[in-house]
C-alpha cells in the first residue's frame, strides 16, 4: 500500500495569523483505514491515531498547534504505508502582534519588550521557532517554566505565556509602587514592570520630591541593552560612562559579573533601552 498524497517531505505552512493548514492524506487502498501519526521537533513530540472509513484523512485537527516533522503510517487490509512531511511557520507582522496584544489587559510596555528582544519574530529563516542558547523559545524567549510544544510553535500561545509572566511582574510593580499608600502613574507602572522583566526595581522613593524617581545611582552603558554601574560603588565613583565601559567591557563576555567586577545587569538600564 502506498500513500499517494501528499508527496514525501512536502512542506505545509502555518499562516502568520497562527492558522494551521489542511494536510490531506490519501492511499491507493480501499476500506477502513487507521492513521498513526507522530509530530516531532527538537525534543518535543506528540502522537496519536485516527480512524476513517475510507482512504482519506486530514491531519489538520490533530496537529494544530504543533510543528516540525510529521510521520504518518496508514494501515488498511493488513498493509501499511508510511510518509513524512514538514510543518513550518510564518512570522506575524508587527500589526498582527499589536492587534493580539490589544485584546489582552495589562500589556502596556510588553510590545516594546517583544520588539527589543526578537523584533516580533517567532520563527527563523527555516520556518522553525527561534531557540536561544539558554533554551529560550519563540517571540517571548520562554525559558522558565519550560514552554509546552504548543507554546513553542503557536506564536499566540507563546505571547500568552509571556503575558502570564509579565502580569506577575506588573503585579509586583504595583505592590512596590503602592506601598505606604503612595500614589503612582500608569507610566511608572510600565517602567517598573519592564525593569522587573529583566531584573530589579526601576524606582526609588524621593521624600523631598514626594514622588517615585528613577534610581539616581545607576549609570547605564549605552553600548549594551542592560548593563550598568552602581555609582555609589567607590570603584565607579567619579568615572564617566566611557571610562567604565573601557575598563569593564572586556569582561562582559563572561556572562555574569564576578566578585571582583563592578558592573551588573540592571533592570533600570533595560527599561531605559526598551522604553526610551
Kindly report the average pLDDT of the chain as a whole number: 96
> Are the C-beta atoms of residues 97 and 159 closer than 8 Å to each other?
yes
Domain count, the chain: 2
Q: How far apart are CA 150 and CA 130, in angstroms?
A: 14
CA dihedral 256, 140, 225, 104 (to 10 degrees): -130
- Same domain for 24 and 83: yes
Strand order in the sheet with 11-13: 11-13, 79-88, 68-76, 33-41, 44-52
Q: Is the pLDDT of residue 226 over 90?
A: yes
For residue 57 the three cell numbers come to: 484523512
Q: pLDDT for 237-265, tens place per residue? A: 999 999 999 999 999 998 889 999 999 99
Residue 79: CATH number of its domain:
2.60.40
Strand order in the sheet with 227-230: 218-220, 227-230, 264-265
Q: pLDDT for 64-97, tens place per residue? A: 999 999 999 999 999 999 999 999 999 999 999 9
- Same domain for 246 and 147: yes
Per the structure, the complete domain to which residue 271 belongs is given by 94-275
- Same domain for 262 and 172: yes
Q: Is the pLDDT of residue 133 over 90?
A: no
- The residue among 60, 88, 116 that closes a domain is 88
Q: pLDDT for 8-46, tens place per residue? A: 999 999 999 999 999 999 999 999 999 999 999 999 999
**The pLDDT of residue 254:** 87
- Same domain for 45 and 81: yes
**The pLDDT of residue 199:** 86
- The residue among 66, 88, 110 that closes a domain is 88
**The pLDDT of residue 134:** 84
Q: Is the pLDDT of residue 58 over 90?
A: yes
Amino acid at each position: 500500500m502506498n500513500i499517494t498524497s501528499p508527496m514525501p517531505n512536502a512542506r505545509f505552512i502555518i499562516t502568520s495569523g497562527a492558522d494551521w493548514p489542511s494536510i490531506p492524506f490519501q492511499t491507493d487502498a480501499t476500506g477502513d483505514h487507521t492513521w498513526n501519526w507522530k509530530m516531532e521537533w527538537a525534543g518535543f513530540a506528540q502522537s496519536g491515531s485516527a480512524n476513517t472509513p475510507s482512504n482519506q484523512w486530514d491531519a489538520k485537527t490533530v496537529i494544530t498547534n504543533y510543528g516540525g516533522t510529521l510521520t504518518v503510517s496508514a494501515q488498511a487490509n493488513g498493509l501499511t504505508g508510511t510518509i513524512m512531511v514538514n510543518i513550518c511557520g510564518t512570522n506575524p507582522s508587527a500589526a498582527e502582534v499589536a492587534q493580539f496584544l490589544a485584546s489582552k489587559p495589562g500589556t502596556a510596555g510588553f510590545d516594546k519588550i517583544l520588539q527589543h528582544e526578537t523584533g516580533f519574530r517567532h520563527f527563523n529563516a527555516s520556518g522553525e521557532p527561534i531557540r536561544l542558547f539558554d533554551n529560550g523559545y519563540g517571540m517571548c524567549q520562554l525559558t522558565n517554566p519550560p514552554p509546552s510544544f504548543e507554546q513553542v510553535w503557536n506564536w499566540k500561545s507563546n505571547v500568552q505565556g509571556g503575558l502570564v509572566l509579565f502580569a506577575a511582574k506588573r503585579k509586583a510593580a504595583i505592590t512596590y509602587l503602592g506601598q505606604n499608600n503612595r500614589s503612582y502613574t500608569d507610566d511608572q507602572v510600565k517602567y517598573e514592570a519592564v525593569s522587573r522583566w529583566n531584573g530589579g526595581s526601576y524606582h526609588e522613593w524621593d521624600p523631598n520630591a514626594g514622588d517615585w524617581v528613577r534610581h539616581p545611582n545607576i549609570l547605564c552603558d549605552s553600548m549594551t541593552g542592560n548593563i550598568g554601574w552602581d555609582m555609589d560603588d567607590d570603584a565607579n565613583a567619579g568615572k564617566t560612562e566611557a571610562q567604565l565601559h573601557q575598563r569593564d567591557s572586556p569582561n562582559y563576555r563572561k556572562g555574569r559579573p564576578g566578585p571582583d567586577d563592578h558592573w551588573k545587569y540592571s533592570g533600570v538600564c533595560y527599561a531605559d533601552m526598551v522604553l526610551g
